[in-house]
A and B are shown apart, each in its own frame.
Chain A
């Protein structure tokens, strides 16, 4: 079986992307120093609790909490190309699951898997019927979930509208760490694991299936990809990430209240991932910073969302990714 010879394929023409990587346009090499960046970021992340005073440390911990939520949301929004307005609710469900278990005196390590599983199960329950229908239905169904959850919490959860204060995880005495440093390191470990898992999911057959379904469901289905099942698993996994993030939120703040998990949170999360950049892990990090530090969630994040969509559809990450090309002679 001989290949066609004398056919020029090595140097194609018609690039629309700026040439940056080893082969022009290789998106994985678009940022030139991925390993170095990751190594420096990891080292900095471990040093943070020993450098920062308590309140900034608390804020950075929250950033990591939102990173986990946005990594999950990005699986649906960035890779699947669908809109979920319910991730604030899954976040709240995870947070309350953890808080109620802590309130009942369950040791905190148990709360994380339980919060994740509860959100995963609910994600399946709501996602499975919704993803069978076209994209906008998922937005409507998840919006309904986001609207319904806070009143349910107010009515049925311990603490009611007043909220529920709980004990945050305490540092084991042998470590010699303060409690907030310990919580930070716990959250960092979970976020790092969440990051690694999500990276391998989106680079695997599962991630390819999602991208294929998004681009051309008909062609994807012919290759053996099951649209409903794939999207449902992605949505449930995404909800699970939101639930895990909610549990980390409870560990960090030691207080949950229904007002923290309204539709506003869902919209802020969605705005965060779009502003950060869809379909990239670094977009989740930038988005988490946005979610944590935006002064007035709602109006400001809405305006920021519009601004980003108007000037930089790739989000902040998309801008940064294009930046190296701007400094090249043959840039765009």
Chain B
């Protein structure tokens, strides 16, 4: 589903990603771990066309992503969340999720205003997703002013509403309390099972990924230092030194 080959990104003299390869199969749930500055978010940025890599290739479902303009990324079946939830504060929670389903909406700017039927279906679809995330009672609430943990869930709900084949979650548990994180892990696992989409999770919160992912990939200063089943990677001395030992 996701194939990344020799991905290289340099910022001036610093190499953020150095010929990193990563393959995630259809329906896999992969954790991407590593200390700060390991290049995890940079990798997501390349896959979602927010950043042009200096070298390498990214294929999603066999399609070359690097040739796409950013607004075509969603249509390719890729959705992501951000480290700091990028929800739209002036829109309600429901409207945020409906924006996630933008690609299923009616064509042009003016046609959209009169596509009542399409709008009604989008709304119903958004409500299903909201219900799944336990956000339905907050549907009409403006995203502005909601607590951080709720915003994180709104953002994931918005990404899910795009019905992606590949879902990239950037630190979904960041800033959450232990109970909230646990609940979120359960939700992501359920979602993954039910939809069969490929999920890649970047996370610092080690218990979160260890409990959630079948497979872990560890990056350290732009290099891939480990890739394998969770139970093996968590015992890898290099990984322990880079991520786990630091704790």
Chain A interfacial positions (CB closer than 8 Å to B) = 1-7, 9-10, 12-17, 21-29, 197, 200-201, 204-209, 211-212, 214-216, 218-227, 229-230, 233-234, 237, 279
Contacts and interface: CB of A to CB of B under 8 A. Distances in A.
Contacts of B147: 12-14
Interface string B85-121: 0111111100100111011011011101111000100
Contacts of A208: 88, 91, 95, 98-99, 102
B137 A17 contact: no
Interface in B116-173: 119, 122, 131-135, 137-138, 140-142, 144-147, 150, 153, 158, 162
Contacts, number: 164
Given A9-B137, A205-B115, A230-B109, A219 B186 contact: no
A3 B132 contact: yes
Given A12-B150, A222-B73, A17 B138 contact: no
Contact of A201 (B113, B145, B186): B113
A80 to B, nearest CB: 12
B99 A223 contact: yes
A28 B90 CA distance: 12
B187 interface: yes
Contact of A27 (B142, B150, B180, B187): B142
Contact of B184 (A4, A29, A205, A225): A4
The winner among A1, A14, A17, A22 for most chain B CB atoms within 10 A is A1
18 contacts: A3-B132, A3-B133, A3-B187, A15-B145, A204-B112, A204-B115, A205-B98, A205-B102, A206-B109, A207-B113, A208-B98, A211-B95, A212-B88, A214-B90, A222-B48, A222-B79, A224-B72, A234-B109
A1 B109 contact: no
A28 B93 CA distance: 13
Contact of A23 (B79, B82, B138): B138
Nearest to A28: B140
A160 to B, nearest CB: 37
B134 A237 contact: no
Contacts of B183: 4, 6-7
B89 A233 contact: no
A206 B134 contact: no
Contacts of B195: 1
Contacts of B114: 200, 204
B14 interface: no
A16 B144 contact: yes
Contacts of A227: 71
B194 interface: yes
A74 to B, nearest CB: 13
B88 A216 contact: yes
Contacts of A225: 71, 99, 102
A3 B88 CA distance: 24
B193 to A, nearest CB: 8
Nearest to A27: B142
Interface of B: 48-50, 70-75, 79-80, 82, 86-92, 95, 98-100, 102-103, 105-106, 108-110, 112-115, 119, 122, 131-135, 137-138, 140-142, 144-147, 150, 153, 158, 162, 180, 183-184, 186-187, 190-191, 193-195
A1 B137 contact: no
Nearest to A229: B109
Contacts of A197: 113
Given A204-B112, A212-B91, A220-B99, 16 more contacts: A1-B132, A1-B193, A3-B133, A7-B183, A9-B137, A10-B137, A14-B146, A27-B92, A28-B92, A197-B113, A201-B112, A204-B115, A205-B122, A208-B102, A222-B79, A223-B158
Instruction: Please give me the 8 A-B residue pairs with the lowest Cβ-Cβ distance, nearest first.
Output: A233-B109, A1-B194, A219-B86, A224-B74, A205-B112, A224-B103, A201-B113, A215-B88
Given A197-B113, A200-B113, A206-B112, A12 B134 contact: no
Nearest to B49: A222
A242 B97 CA distance: 32
A4 B79 CA distance: 21
Nearest to B191: A1
Given A13-B147, A212-B99, A221-B71, A206 B184 contact: no
Contacts of B79: 222-223
Contacts of B142: 17, 25-27
Contact of A7 (B82, B134, B158, B193): B134
Nearest to B107: A205
A22 B139 CA distance: 12
A227 B71 CA distance: 8
B108 to A, nearest CB: 7
Nearest to B133: A3
A15 B95 CA distance: 19
A222 B98 contact: no
